[in-house]
Structure 1
Amino acid sequence: MDMTESDMKGVIAMMTIDRETIRRELDQKNLLELHRELTRERKWRTGVMIVLMTALLFTIVYGTLENPFVYTFSNIGNFFAYRWLFIVWSIVSGLAIQTAILALFRLEDYAKGKKTKNIFLFLSVVFLVATALIPALREEYPFWHVLHFVTAILHALFVFAAFIPFVLFVSKENPRLRLIISLCIAVVWGGALLALFLAGKSGLFEMWFYVGMILFLLYLSLILFEEKIVKLSVAFLRDEANLNEAIEKYFIDLEAKTKKAKRAAASREATDPSASIDR
């Protein structure tokens, strides 16, 4: 396929691209802050996806160490030699869910003036970790077994109190998502209760809830971050004549070289104090 003169110029421009030149050009066009926001949102999206996928994999692996139709997550941690793994799972999963929800709060400007929602999320992690730390051995430690049950209930309630109002807000702001959000809520929460009713106290109920919750967060993160990035991208590329060159600028992280240069300068100052004095 023959390349046009415009395409050739775009390729040459991409090969000779310079971060500082791009920075000055974007600054002159009042697009530098927009570019920074685009880069930031792409990094947030990638980070949230990695955190949630890690928690999803960990949940599936941990929940199937023993038969989930017989043993709950607590049983696996307390009856077998997986107690430390149960605690690590609670920390990883709790923080992953909290991080993802807080990222979505920020993305949708939802948390402003709603500090109680952030507190609810923090408490949900605290109670999940407490549930893992407190022994669930009814015969040996009856008091601690009851407390273990209470903290598990509190964890679920605080997650519900923080997350459900948010997804209802998103549903209201994005009518096209209303049906799928309603279905996800019904499947995750209603399905977990149905699993509890049908299978009794087993790991199936917990597996359904946590896997469903993480998948729901993955879906919301993908959709909402993509929507924000597309809006920013349209504004960024709107007045560009050469799309090939513009797209190359779009994907360049202008902050990466700056941070690297700052680290190098700090390293030079640490090894040669006179360098900072001369400067």
Structure 2
Amino acid sequence: MKNNENEAFLGSFFAGFIIALIPIYTFWFGTLQNPFDYTLSMIGNRFDRMNEFIIWGTISGLLLFLYIINLFREAAFQDKRARRMLVYSTIFLVLTVITPAVEEINRVTHRLHAVFGALFGIFLSASLYFFIRYLRTVDEDVFGRSMIYLNIVILGSVSLFIVFGNNGIFELFFFLALSFFLWLLKRWIYQL
């Protein structure tokens, strides 16, 4: 193999590893307790698994960041605003997992935890939206499919939150569906 082919193979292998690790790790952690009864943060805060929760959130945030930055690079996407939003989303995920979330102990940190979690989702979704909007200039079909999948991730998570309440189902759906969407997006970009 040539040097560029080796780099491409290693990059694809690394990207595949990243995008597989996020849902596997999330599913494992999210099912340590019944996800219909407990969110990921409840598992971390109420079942003496705070360190595991912090490690899960930090690793997942960094892996998402690396994977999405790699997508930006592969598509020659240079928007600084989208990159900043991606950085902010990673910071907010880490802030979410390090902020205690037991309302009975401290209502302020519980609310901060919820705000940080929402800001993580908003900034990540906005970053991906700007990227997908850029893809419209490259390929209209990829743009259309990407918008559908991004909406499935966002609206599916919100719908599950509304239907089932504040439990782990909407969080598991978000991370699993997002990982699948990002895997598809990488394939679509590779085919351009």
TM norm. shorter chain > 0.5? yes
Which amino acid counterpart does residue 46 of structure 1 have in structure 2? F
Distance 1:69 1:121 in 2: 29
Which stretch shifts more, 163-172 or 210-219? 163-172
> What SS does the corresponding residue of 1:129 show, helix, strand or coil?
helix
Which position in structure 1 is the counterpart of 2:53? Answer: 86
In 2 relative to 1, CA 45–171 (structure 1 residues): closer, same or farther, beyond 3 Å?
farther
What corresponds to 2:182 in structure 1?
Answer: 217
Backbone CA RMSD of aligned residues: 1.7
| Letter aligned with residue 75 of structure 2 | E
Amino acid in structure 1 at the alignment position of 2:23: L
Residue of 119, 136, 144 corresponding to 2:109: 144
Name the TM-score, length of structure 1 as normaliser: 0.65
Shift of 1:77: 0.6
Counterpart in the other structure of 1:95? 62
Once the two structures are TM-superposed, the CA of residue 184 in structure 1 deviates from its matched residue by 0.8
Cα offset for 1:122?
A: 1.4
How many angstroms apart in 2 are the aligned matches of 1:174 and 1:67?
Answer: 42
Q: Which amino acid in structure 1 is aligned with residue 129 of structure 2?
A: I
Aligned length: 192
Which amino acid in the other structure matches residue 147 of structure 1?
L
Is the 8 Å Cα contact of residues 130 and 151 (structure 1) preserved in structure 2? yes
- The amino acid across from 1:205 in the alignment is F
Aligned to 1:126: 91
Following TM superposition, the consecutive aligned residue runs of length 4 or more in structure 1 with deviations greater than 4 angstroms are: none
Shift in Å at residue 171 of structure 1?
3.9
Percent of residue pairs identical? 27
1:237 aligns with none
Aligned position for 1:205? 170
5+ residue gaps in structure 1?
1-18, 20-34, 229-279
- The 1-side partners of 2:23 and 2:96 are apart by 19
Partner of 1:265: none
Structure index of larger Rg: 1
Contact 1:45 1:221 (C-alpha < 8 Å) held by counterparts:
no
